[in-house]
Amino acid sequence: MATSIKASVLKEIRNGSDHVSGQELCDKLGVSRTAVWKVIKQLQAEGYDIEAVTNKGYKLLSYPNILSGSEIMSRLSTTWAGQKVYFHKETESTNDDAKYLAEEGMDHGSLVVADCQTAGKGRRGRAWVSPPGEAIYMSLLLRPDFSPDQASMLTLLMAISVAEVINGLFPDLKVNIKWPNDVLVQERKVCGILTEMSAEPDYIHHVVIGVGINVNQKEFPPDVEEIATSLRLCHGEMIDRVQIIVGVMEYFEYYYGIFTERGDVSDFVHIYDGYLINRGREVRVLDPKGEYTGVAEGINDKGELIINLPDGSATTVASGEVSVRGIYGYV
Amino acid sequence: MATSIKASVLKEIRNGSDHVSGQELCDKLGVSRTAVWKVIKQLQAEGYDIEAVTNKGYKLLSYPNILSGSEIMSRLSTTWAGQKVYFHKETESTNDDAKYLAEEGMDHGSLVVADCQTAGKGRRGRAWVSPPGEAIYMSLLLRPDFSPDQASMLTLLMAISVAEVINGLFPDLKVNIKWPNDVLVQERKVCGILTEMSAEPDYIHHVVIGVGINVNQKEFPPDVEEIATSLRLCHGEMIDRVQIIVGVMEYFEYYYGIFTERGDVSDFVHIYDGYLINRGREVRVLDPKGEYTGVAEGINDKGELIINLPDGSATTVASGEVSVRGIYGYV
């Protein structure tokens, strides 16, 4: 559940350069000394090394590598994205949780995060394997006031956000996006995005963007090890999941602001295309009307993939399945 | 809940020209004599006048004017539309029920019907007043395999279906459609349609089409009496709600079949335009980019409203709010 006092205390002592007095915390957060004291005790029990000095106050000396709502909220510098975190040690599906909470009135920008999913979902009802302790499973709730046909572009904004975070943290790694909603590192999948919406034909009730990121897995099952990887496998060291979540929220909020002002992705076409693994490669499009191949050029302002066909003409793909030669076993 | 044995017994004795024997019912429906006998007793208790003659069997002499799942199912001749009816004496919202049941795996074509809604919904979260005993509140679940941008056309198919039923039953009444989703009789609203979907940007999980029809209301609150009416107020007599529900399911199934084959509404443009009250009238379009007026011409193959502008050019409206001069108090 949203744990705002704990997150607020943590944020204050995290940001304070020196000791932060108990009284200062009470005044700032509008809570009692007892409440502050209880929260400090809880945080210490969770592994936060908090020094308490009489007449000086509290100082955060070090913090554990844990995934929790308070930890995420205390490190965010966004205005709305992720400002309310609903954390579950285990849940069926963070997208389903977010959809349920959306019906209950959960705010725009609320974020459901889980350490483990027992019924994780991929696109079109496929399963998304979600073991505990190693990956990120999160779902961001949005209440946009644009029309349903623009919702597909949100997937692209999220893909860019994830790519930018990984690229920023690990500049040595090769980060790509496979249109529309996979993020790849070293040409293997580290992230999938599942955008779901509840809408009237011309009016969005809410959108939930689910993001699964392979962070600390040390191995993958044989059937996917050629296709998937984790940041740890590529980078070689254990990675702090909260840092990634916080980064994604910050990038997403930034891009979402520009997108809603613009109404399209024209301002990000160059960034997206820069990551696009499809670009210049042969792609196979599984269209309901028939399969065809061509060479992907990039995306247009609506986020559609532009494909140059063998006959010299060009077409665009708005949605669906596009395989890229050389990726995921397509030879 | 879906009450299939009762509906099946009712269907058999309704369709039989003479008495239907108990044994015949058992054999046909694969249930015991006791089960048949119990159902007959239940039906009699509900007001069905069923004659039971030894050695001959059961005959339905007359049936009560009641709204129930069995009554609806026993009178349907569709293949899938309405074949499973979930009836509630009272519920919050049939659309919410259908959405919930959809998540639980309810079949394509299942129908939620209520005698009364305590939290009925109109478009964009507006309230839909839903007193008991007089109107139809129903929600049809669909699991289409077309893309979300085609879902808006389902509203039009439902509007045509409702208009066709009313027109067929009451040929003296003036039946119209106000684009996209109101059905009017004598230029007042008798029906509203609320289409909601759960979707990925390129893939529909399910669609729920909610239909509210004013059937037997004898009066309306002062704030809507100039705008709304009921079939009874126009026709002068009490009307069997089941007949309307059954008719709508039959028309809808028929039109849906053609629509899914075609992929657009091109085959119905002439029927829709024949009912369209907007046609040839001044309309005011509340577009997010600004309000404008023009004269509506009809719909195109995608179900968009074609509007001729004062400067001689034409535009189309895909969604949103369109007022029609002379209707609903727009003078």
Same fold, A4-62 and A69-275: no
DSSP state of A106: P
pLDDT in tens, A76-94: 999 999 999 999 999 999 9
Distance CA B83, CA B70 (A): 10
Chain B residues with CB within 8 Å of chain A CB: 123-125, 147-149, 151-152, 154-155, 194-203, 205, 318-320
**Of A24-28, A221-225, A306-310, A312-316, which gets the smallest average pLDDT?**
A221-225
Tell me what pLDDT residue A3 has: 53
Tell me what pLDDT residue B120 has: 87
Residues of B in contact with A196 (CB under 8 A): 198-200, 205
**Inter-chain contact A319–B202, Cβ cutoff 8 Å?**
yes
**Inter-chain contact A201–B152, Cβ cutoff 8 Å?**
yes
The reply to whether CATH 2.60.120.380 applies to domain A4-62 is: no
Q: Give the chain A residue whose CA is nearest to the CA of B318.
A: A202
Tell me what pLDDT residue B159 has: 97
CATH top-level class for B69-275?
alpha beta
Q: Enter the ipTM.
A: 0.83
* Residue A236 CB contacts under 8 Å (≥ 6 apart), including other chains: none
Residues of A in contact with B318 (CB under 8 A): 202
Residues of A in contact with B203 (CB under 8 A): 123-124, 319
| Residue B207 or residue A290, greater confidence | B207
How big is the A-B interface in CB pairs under 8 Å? 63
Fold observed for domain A282-324: SH3 type barrels. (2.30.30)
Partners of residue A176 on adjacent β-strands: A184
Q: Which stretch of DSSP H or E encloses residue A163?
A: helix A152-169
Mutation target among B202, B261, B265, B286 for the A interface, most CBs of A within 10 A: B202
- Is residue A315 classed exposed, middle or buried when 0-12, 13-18 and 19+ CB atoms within 10 A define those classes? middle
Q: Give the chain A residue whose CA is nearest to the CA of B147.
A: A319
**Inter-chain contact B152–A202, Cβ cutoff 8 Å?**
yes
Which sign, positive or negative, has the C-alpha torsion B34, B39, B40, B45?
A: positive
3-state helix, strand, coil in chain B (%, to 5): 35, 30, 35
Q: Give the chain A residue whose CA is nearest to the CA of B122.
A: A200
Residues of B in contact with A202 (CB under 8 A): 152, 318-320
**Inter-chain contact B196–A196, Cβ cutoff 8 Å?**
no
Distance CA B32, CA B22 (A): 9
Mutation target among A123, A200, A319 for the B interface, most CBs of B within 10 A: A200
- pLDDT average, residue stretch B285-311: 91
- pLDDT average, residue stretch B223-230: 90
**Of A310-324, B186-200, B260-274, which gets the smallest average pLDDT?**
A310-324
**Inter-chain contact B149–A148, Cβ cutoff 8 Å?**
yes
Can the peptide bond before residue A180 be classed as cis, meaning omega within 30 degrees of 0?
A: yes
Tell me what pLDDT residue B287 has: 80
Residues of B in contact with A302 (CB under 8 A): none
Angle made by CA atoms A44, A50, A54, in degrees to the nearest 5: 115
pTM: 0.87
Domain ranges of chain B: 4-62, 69-275, 282-324
Query: A82 with A76: CB under 8 angstroms?
Result: yes
**Inter-chain contact B200–A148, Cβ cutoff 8 Å?**
no
Averaged pLDDT of chain B: 92
What is the dihedral angle through the alpha carbons of B278, B282, B284, B285, rounded to the nearest 10 degrees?
60
- Integer CA distances (angstroms), B66 to A79, A230, B10, B47, in order: 55, 62, 13, 9
**Inter-chain contact A152–B124, Cβ cutoff 8 Å?**
no
Residues of B in contact with A155 (CB under 8 A): 201
Q: Give the chain B residue whose CA is nearest to the CA of A152.
A: B201
Angle made by CA atoms A313, A154, A1, in degrees to the nearest 5: 160
Residue A331 pLDDT grade (very low, low, confident, very high; cuts 50, 70, 90) = low
Using the predicted structure, report yes or no on whether residue B93 has a pLDDT greater than 50. yes
